[in-house]
Structure 1
């Protein structure tokens, strides 16, 4: 599946101002990238570099070399957590903490991927919530509905990062699958930055399931929140 850039604008937020970029795939699904300190790679310069590669590529390489390795968060959409402040997950606090950290760092991006409920969609996510209310964990709830434990894909990330000339990242994640995907597709993950925020009595078992059954790299003690290691 291919992805193309559609448009961008300034986005002031309570964390600071971001540039917001919209991408769309072949099926019309939209994904969002918020950036700070990452100018768009000029497509004209790319075309010109084919005609005069040495001088322009050296200039571009020098510019990129002066830029710090950006802080990147790949965040899948979570309406209940991001918009409604649900306590059943840690998604909202993760998003807000990452946005604040990127603003403080001055160079980075949020890749906000439109794949609700680990890719199963909002309706099925709420069906899974109902099963969780009956005592099933987040993984078993998906499987009981005949759905995969995690249906997310990350093939849009390469095109989004290429748009701002990023091929090396400091990745904010507890999920080793994200590190593996970027590495396998030519993105150098120079550092994995752990993130454990928003822990509460309502989501402790959810986090334990991610750690124990889904391989997420989480601290064994949820009583002490490990905040973003900047």
Structure 2
């Protein structure tokens, strides 16, 4: 799979909802289906104001000229060895999507405000790249089991697994093949992004837990929270 195709798999869901990126979600989806990158696609990708600077940072640190190189894109959304080369940012985080979600966006700071706690927790949970195990693929929809974020008033953690339904395709376009029971997949909002390899699952869990510890330290929660366990 090309870097642009991988980028679209992870970026499409919030773009379709109007949360980030360009206004033309249909064009982004078309590029993802074709798996190609031209100047038009790069112009679209650069409008993701959170992701694009991080991709450039990872590429520069790894000696790669292209921010849409496949390994660079994987490092940002999932995590891999390139993140360690990029080093910590000024805020102590790595250029991984979970750092933006937990430590840069305003939602974590709103958890302590009673009127906004529920909404803030939902956005944090859906905006992060989650992982889940497939229970059933019904065609357009997929039933998965995943661990939601929970908030006890002092810290964020991963709760007990629960079932949820996610989308595998949109307007008849499917970016991933049919799934099988037991597959591990990445989830972004209500969208199935990709099938995770065992190494990718470990990396996503690791970097997500890293930034959960970081945000809990900032929120005054207990330091040293352990990472989630695979169910």
Q: TM-score band (shorter)?
A: under 0.3
TM-score, structure 2 normalization: 0.28
The structure whose Rg is larger is: 1
Highest RCO, 1 vs 2 (Cα 8 Å, sep ≥ 6):
1
Q: Which has the higher strand share?
A: 1
TM-score, structure 1 normalization: 0.28
